[in-house]
Structure 1
Amino acid sequence: MADRKNYKGYLIDLDGTIYMGENKIEAGTRFVKRLQDAGLPYLFVTNNTTKTPAQVQTRLRELFDIETPENSIYTATLATLDYMADMAKGDSAYVIGESGLKSAIYAKYKRETEHPAYVVVGLDNDLTYEKLVIATLAIARGAMFIGTNPDLNIPTERGLLPGAGSINKLLEVATRIKPIFIGKPNAIIMNKAVEHINMARRDLLMVGDNYLTDIRAGIDNDIDTLLVTTGFTKSEEVPDLPIAPTHVVSSLDDWTFSDK
């Protein structure tokens, strides 16, 4: 473990870090409140696209006793929209996903099933074969294939469930075209998150439970990392990780902030 630095800002995962499905991780709630009390800037950076930032804000307040501004929540949906605007490929899209993703994209792009400029694929609890057929054919016709995030699994109170990455993997096999992934650990969302919090990378710490997404997001994008073993990556896996996180704790209660 590296020596403790005086981190001035925090990028924080949600699923498996602050909560587990519908279950509160008490140390996660205390961690956020300690950040707020210390006056330290933070940004929740989540691969979850099923809810809007406003819905995430409400969920944090009502289920997990966390009051936080809406602009402290940066989702893979927002990063996807930023990327689509940068690409400027067209004004139409077909989306596999839930309301948080669909409402945001269809507010700016017209829905098109035959020849969309983009096919955007996120987690969809109402996934059907026909949705996969429409996406497969659209991608084959030349639509840009965007995956909101590569998470193969989601940590929940029920266990590890299939994630958006699993749906994207199916379409990748069907089309033989790899998606452009937006969410962690990819640079697209991390670059935008750094811009959003408006701090130097050397002053930031990426906090999360999933080595493959949260921690690699930091490692691959020059940001120190704090792995908390409350969700996806377990403590017994840590010695065998290919590149060690900067810090590892079993509970966010074990993390203390340096003096500002």
Structure 2
Amino acid sequence: MKGFILDLDGTLYDGDAPIPYAPAFIEWLRSHHYPYLYVTNNSSRTPEQVASHLRKTGIEALPEEVLTSSQAAAFYMQERASSKQVYAIGETGLQQALQDAGFQTVEPGAQPAFVVQGIDREFSYAKLSTAVRYIRGGATFILTNPDHLLPMNHELHPGAGSIAASIERASQVEPTIIGKPSPIIMNYAIARLGLPSNQIWVVGDNLQTDIQGGLAAGCRTALVLTGLVKSSTLEAHEQRTGIRAELVCDHLMMLAEALSQEKEG
């Protein structure tokens, strides 16, 4: 049985528009009863919001089919929590994931067990100072995802990794990274699918996050040339990163055709 860990932006949609063949690929997965999971480094949205956005682009999705970096961060912290008090820098997706996991905003004068940070478009010097104080006081520094840039409205804007760089520089503490290419989020996804990692395909458009994350987790990997990497830039990206996917496909249905020719394990 094959399973699939699917990237979103650049793989299934581009902003509010579906990537060509993406809805058909999801229908192909459903018709073959292949288990799959939408896995995103986006920490700002809840699973309900991610699923709603997918449906608006014509792609079938349920919240339980989504795993975000905020959820994975909350799972990771929950397994290691000595205290339920946390200082969080982030937006709705992170705040909801922490609440669902039973975490509470640190009380004045207390020392939290964790400082967890995702994308925060209202990040400030005051938040930076507070995070650094708690980390230097012993809090574990958790980063939802390492993306330095994120695409919005056809432009690149600073991502969670850029904010983390300032906190890391000031605190002199490296964060534990949860999102792709970290195996942490990948292992949670693998566990949810309930299949051996070598039977799971990680599908994405980014060599450094999707493909490297799949390789680190022992999964099979497929790069689609519909997002960050194009056919014209593939060789340059591979040479620069030293990362190569098992399969490279122009689009998702080309991947479906290739996998249809494989015998089931």
Could you tell me which residue of structure 1 aligns to residue 85 of structure 2? 92
Shift, 1:132, TM fit: 1.6
Change (3 A) 1:155 1:124: same
Task: Give the 3-state SS of the residue equivalent to 1:89 in structure 2.
Answer: coil
Aligned to 2:18: 24
Moved more, 244-253 or 117-126: 244-253
Q: State the Cα deviation string for residues 132-189 of structure 1 (Å, max 9, x = none).
A: 2211221111111000011112234423322111111121111111000011111111
2:46 alignment counterpart:
52
Aligned position for 2:196: 200
Per-residue CA deviations over 1:210-252 (Å, capped at 9, x if unaligned) read 1111110011111111111222234344321413111112222
Higher RCO (CA 8 Å, separation ≥ 6 residues): 1
Q: CA RMSD in A?
A: 1.8
Q: Cα deviations across residues 15-59 of structure 1 (Å, max 9, x unaligned)?
A: 221112333223222221221122211111111111111121112
1:207-246 alignment to 2 at 5 Å?
207-239=203-235, 240=239, 241-246=241-246
Equivalent residue for 1:3?
none
* 8 Å Cα contact 2:22-2:59 kept in structure 1: no
Q: Which amino acid aligns with 2:63?
A: E
Hey, what does 1:258 align to over in structure 2? 260
Identity between Structure 1 and Structure 2 (%) = 38
Q: Distance in 1 between matches of 2:172 and 2:145?
A: 18
Deviation at 1:190, TM superposition (A): 1.0
Report how many residues are paired.
Answer: 253
SS at match of 1:30: helix
Q: Is the 8 A contact 1:155 1:231 kept in 2?
A: no
CA contact (8 A) 1:155 1:232 kept: no
Task: State whether structure 2 residue 132 is matched by structure 1 residue 136.
Answer: yes
Q: Distance in 2 between matches of 1:143 and 1:21?
A: 36
1:110 aligns with 2:104: yes
Which secondary structure state, in structure 2, belongs to the residue aligned with residue 10 of structure 1?
A: strand
User: Secondary structure in 2 aligned to 1:215?
Assistant: helix
Instruction: Give the distance between the partners of 2:148 and 2:24, measured in 1 at CA.
Output: 28
Quick check: 1:20–1:157 contact (8 Å CA) kept in 2?
no
CA distance in 2 between partners of 1:135 and 1:151 (Å): 19
Checking the alignment, whether the CA contact within 8 Å between 1:238 and 1:244 is kept in structure 2 is no
Letter in 2 for 1:118: F
Q: Match for 1:88: what amino acid?
A: A
Instruction: Tell me, in whole angstroms, the C-alpha distance in 1 between the residues paired with 2:128 and 2:195.
Output: 40
* Cα distance in structure 2, aligned partners of 1:104 and 1:220: 25
> Unmatched 5+ residue regions in structure 2?
none
Residue-by-residue CA offset, 1:98-144 (whole Å, 9 max, x unaligned): 11111221451121265211110001122222222211221111111
- Looking at structure 1, the residues matched to 253 and 206 of structure 2 have their Cα atoms a distance apart, in angstroms, of 18
Q: 1:180 aligns with which of 168, 173, 176?
A: 176
- Structure 1 portions without partners, runs of 5+: 1-6
Q: Secondary structure at the match of 1:51?
A: coil
CA distance in 2, matches of 1:164, 1:64: 25
